[in-house]
Structure 1
């Protein structure tokens, strides 16, 4: 799947953009070189552009949809954003199921981090250094500024460029080809401009890191690690270096800027290590790979929270609940109130068919951490598995403000509604879930299915129709459902 993602993303991007161009030419009538960034690519166009790429990532099953990892990356990102001197747009952080070292910023405030980057980092400040760099790309609007500095790029071009970058193509000709779709571009000028952006993102990112309380040396430390890996593997560059060119001068500048900042003495918590282990287990091609890795680490005498949690999680994913419980027990004894450890304990208890014990752990955990969305989602999911959909639904709707726009909320609400035989509600929540994932077409199909249900109340019909109109307004005017398109052929 990963080998074919580039072609799938690029082809889908170009087809979608070509269709948009045919349907609404005015939408692609972008200004020429030299106009302000807002005119070259407006904030609303940036948001739409990034959203379309994110939808492709969901569609390709490339997202690592884990609430705990998403919350961790988002918390780091927003901590940096709160320290930024330039107010960012509404940001969305997510993790990609890819072992390669990479991170990227999409138009519209979307920031993605590969699982491989978490595995390569030695501490939280190194991850924060990469996030701070990507956040600077967003706040400085480098994509819009790049378009302003090149030749009238269309939305089709930028969708193709971003798709190529995300896929981390090892073939630079693919990226060059994407850049030149529908127009002649000077690639060298593009690369030089990107290097200027990289230096600016480094400078601003380090300043933001320091203000947010991270060790500013984290960025240069991660750069040095990448340089060492490049030397070890020769032409096998880490993916992040294909889109973020690294030079000796850039490393030296980052190190020098960090030295100018006040020294930061950080006491590392176990949180980074637990999330690193989670990324390894959940992104592994085979769960047994992670299980072998952590078994070997513990056997070698490296009995750290990271290794013990990683093995317990890998065993639970493999369905070996009793072994997982035994491995996790010493950690729970040492850190009895840690939310991540309690959530894994509850998952293991549920696997052991000890539903009442699992629900008791989750009830206690959500009382200790009432605003931690992953705990609420795990509680609702376990209630569903225990045959208590009404309680799961009540939990989700009463904690709506805390859960915000967590996608899994709508998926769980849809499941609960189906279990309760409330089909209008199930259609509505499934439609919302698909729409937020960028799948507007199938969202409309779900809402239409709900509107065709017999015996709808006026309130149910109005609610479904209003959501359908909201979704429909995001699609081109001449869009037709797939079934209608087939009928017209």
Structure 2
């Protein structure tokens, strides 16, 4: 299913490492949390603030909502979280569409990776090493401790906190020193604190990486590769600016890796397919991605299923449906329930106008995996294409019952209600999206619109929406008083 959401690409500079100036201006619409909110940042409060911040961030960054990629990164990340110590809350993992190599962590176990990181990784262990490093930043409470320290210097608002964390997280050398103080000693203290955090994250992250079944030697290998790569560009790579890399730190990771037994860790099929998907759809344009995979397939040892899958995506996106279908049908012969292949195949069927065939195929998969977001979203997409809007709404509402933050599902639900001219439900769905982006005033306005379009006999529905509005107002007020 080629359904993904990217918000405001121009605002990427807020978290891209090339941005050295203050970013607080981007968050001026956020509520104030008061001066005492962060003096003692308990895990419970950290999780609460992290959720609010991540919802706001989702409205500002070019985040990718691709269900296949979402399933992969969360499965990979939580596999390593299960091996980590000092885990105080559930973790969530996200993708940002950016060709730069980078990853970052925020409060409350929210971790994001640039699509460029998996695009350049030569193994799953290399990609996992970036994620495990960010997990360590969270479990060691580096960001939480930094926020506590900042709150003792001056009162913090959520807007100021976001600006501080953005700079401290993605630009430690320039950002933390600039925010901490104007005095040289204070600046140096901030820099040293960050370097210490990086060393601790290297140590803890490598242990988690190894215990999760990945190759710990991937850490120094990845550092070496990035260092060499940065020599041939005018500006330092984003990852190296985000995570300052001294020679001693490279040596430390190499020596630490030697404490583990060297072993060959094969890449999972999911990794190879997600990497191909990123290269085909998020890293190169349609014409270049087709040429890329044709070249890969022609190289010795390059005729892999992942490269065939990548070419099928590129052909589909270039509207070469018959050629794409031929590749995917061959792949499905060996693995008929593979969701990566089914995703592309059903898109081909929809593009060919074969809506019922697509619905029949996805219905069978839905009966096998009713709670899988990839299956459900593809099934709903096929239903929308077939103008079976009631079926689509049923599927999407069921998915949102247990995955209430799924932006794609809300977007499709809005389209379905709009097609049915169901204005009360349309505006409520829009309110839900605004809430997921932490835009409380807009969410409350949409609830008012939904109430206005209700029929006089819909008294119970009116009461429910009024109660929902009061709940949003109370939550917004509580955030402002924190």
> How far apart are 1:189 and its partner, in Å?
1.3
Seen in structure 2, the aligned counterparts of structure 1 residues 468 and 331 have a Cα distance that, compared at 3 Å, is same
Contact persistence 2:133–2:205 (CA under 8 A): yes
> How far apart are 1:303 and its partner, in Å?
1.9
Seen in structure 2, the aligned counterparts of structure 1 residues 41 and 373 have a Cα distance that, compared at 3 Å, is same
Aligned counterpart, 2:13: 6
Seen in structure 2, the aligned counterparts of structure 1 residues 191 and 426 have a Cα distance that, compared at 3 Å, is same
Aligned counterpart, 2:236: 237
Seen in structure 2, the aligned counterparts of structure 1 residues 58 and 446 have a Cα distance that, compared at 3 Å, is same
Does the residue aligned with 1:39 lie in a helix, a strand or coil? coil
> How far apart are 1:75 and its partner, in Å?
0.9
Gaps of 5+ in 1: 31-37, 480-489
Contact persistence 2:177–2:188 (CA under 8 A): no
Paired residue total: 464
Aligned counterpart, 2:469: 468
Q: Distance in 2 between matches of 1:253 and 1:165?
A: 23
Aligned counterpart, 2:358: 358
Seen in structure 2, the aligned counterparts of structure 1 residues 393 and 177 have a Cα distance that, compared at 3 Å, is same
Aligned counterpart, 1:247: 246
TM-superposition CA deviations, 1:151-210 (whole Å, max 9, x none): 6253444322333467x67x97677545559x9982221111111111111111122222
Does the residue aligned with 2:64 lie in a helix, a strand or coil? coil
Does the residue aligned with 1:89 lie in a helix, a strand or coil? coil
Aligned counterpart, 2:337: 337
TM-superposition CA deviations, 1:32-78 (whole Å, max 9, x none): xxxxxx73444465446544553454334511121111111111111
Aligned counterpart, 1:313: 313
Does the residue aligned with 1:186 lie in a helix, a strand or coil? helix
Contact persistence 1:53–1:163 (CA under 8 A): no
Superposed counterparts of 1:20-35, under 5 Å: 20-21=31-32, 27-29=34-36
Aligned counterpart, 1:163: 166
Superposed counterparts of 1:63-74, under 5 Å: 63-74=63-74
Superposed counterparts of 1:118-267, under 5 Å: 118-149=118-149, 152=153, 154-155=156-157, 156-164=159-167, 176-178=177-179, 186-233=186-233, 236-261=235-260, 265-267=264-266
Gaps of 5+ in 2: 1-7
Which segment drifts farther, 78-87 or 266-275? 266-275
Q: Distance in 1 between matches of 2:23 and 2:423?
A: 33
Contact persistence 1:17–1:159 (CA under 8 A): no
TM-superposition CA deviations, 1:340-372 (whole Å, max 9, x none): 111111111111111122122222333444442
Q: Distance in 2 between matches of 1:279 and 1:164?
A: 27
Contact persistence 2:57–2:437 (CA under 8 A): no
Contact persistence 2:427–2:449 (CA under 8 A): yes
TM-superposition CA deviations, 1:97-136 (whole Å, max 9, x none): 1000000001122111000001111222222211111011
Seen in structure 2, the aligned counterparts of structure 1 residues 292 and 152 have a Cα distance that, compared at 3 Å, is farther
> How far apart are 1:421 and its partner, in Å?
4.0
Contact persistence 1:64–1:283 (CA under 8 A): no
Seen in structure 2, the aligned counterparts of structure 1 residues 285 and 447 have a Cα distance that, compared at 3 Å, is farther
- RMSD value, Cα: 3.2
Q: Distance in 1 between matches of 2:225 and 2:348?
A: 36
Aligned counterpart, 1:34: none
TM-score under structure 2 length normalisation: 0.85
